[in-house]
Amino acid sequence: MQRRNLLKQLLPIATATLAGPIFAQKLTSKQIILVVPFPPGGNLDVVARTLAPALERALGSTVIVDNRAGAGGAIGVAYVARAEPDGRTLLVSTPNALVVLPKMIQKY
């Protein structure tokens, strides 16, 4: 019985060792878009523009801050929701645009 338990515990380790190293996909040189669903000059715009250079250095890609203001953040959030799911369109937002706004849209 102890031998069977030992084999069960060693099986994942043996499988991982035999499978070889697994690497994440490398990012290509495509640009990354940080969408801010509010007008330029606001608090979130400052946060996004401060974050962009650090992301550029860390990821080696161009980072663009894209302000898509209007409808209390709904336009920018909808743009990100419809974007291609490749991880290159990111949202910098407040809880209102992510939590309150969807509930309001469902109600009306």
- Over the stretch 11-70, which tens digit does the pLDDT of each residue have? 566 555 555 555 555 555 689 999 999 999 999 999 999 999 999 998 888 999 999 998
HSE-up of residue 84 (Cα within 13 Å, Cβ side): 4
Extents of the domains making up the chain: 32-107
Q: Put the strands of the sheet holding 32-36 in their side by side order.
A: 63-67, 32-36, 89-91
Categorize the per-residue pLDDT at 108 as very low, low, confident or very high, splitting at 50, 70 and 90. Answer: very low
**pLDDT at res. 24:** 53
Q: What CATH superfamily classification does 32-107 receive?
A: Bordetella uptake gene, domain 1 (3.40.190.150)
